[in-house]
Amino acid sequence: MNMLPAPDTAPTVRTCGILERVSLPLFLFAGSLTSLLIVASATLLPRLTRIEADGSLSSIDQLRIRRSQLTAHVHTQVQRREMLLLPLQDAIYDALKAARAGEGDLSLLQRKILAQAASLTSVPDAIHLDRSAYRADQKLLVLEGDVRHVGPHCMTLLAAFVDQLTKLPEIADIPNPVFTREDDPATGPHSPFSLTLHLR
């Protein structure tokens, strides 16, 4: 009768002993490495991964926030631009353009007024216009200025100027023009005026 040999337990004992001896250093190494990585990611990596943008160093997180802010700003600006451009295609804008065209060319009328002023006398800038104000809702044009450098004939020249203006087809009426003459030591006799022109 053959007897089987008893299994050898020596390798198992040796393996358990090795694991017992190695487990503590492995655990300490893994713990140290994990702690080192945590400390490095909290302190060292943010310094090493900073990028210069817009003249200052920024971290990755700051750049992400900055990018989202810039994206939102660009989106807002695009919306504002569209609000300025899209009304050009609106029917209300076309109606306003038609109403503006129906009012006539104000700059053409102003050129006619200046031409009438220059045609009445050979003295340059004798009828001087200081200011003009247009009131579209009342169809009024207010002219303020002064007749000067023509001596005592300044009131006569102002009356001729008003008479010429009433003949323009764009002007319906000039109610109650006031004619005055004042003496100034520097410019001599002059006639300041403020005329309200009712337009057609």
Q: pLDDT digit string (tens) for 5-17?
A: 555 545 555 677 7
Instruction: Return the CATH number of the domain spanning residue range 105-199.
Output: 3.30.1360
Q: What is the pLDDT of residue 1?
A: 47
Q: What is the pLDDT of residue 70?
A: 93
Give the start-to-end residue ranges of the domains of the chain.
57-102, 105-199
Rounded average pLDDT per 10-residue block, the chain, 200 residues: 52 68 86 90 76 76 88 91 71 75 72 90 88 85 91 90 90 86 86 90
The β-bridge relationship of strands 188-199 and 171-173 is antiparallel
Q: What is the pLDDT of residue 12?
A: 58
Q: pLDDT digit string (tens) for 133-170?
A: 888 778 888 999 999 988 888 899 999 999 999 999 88
The β-bridge relationship of strands 188-199 and 140-147 is antiparallel
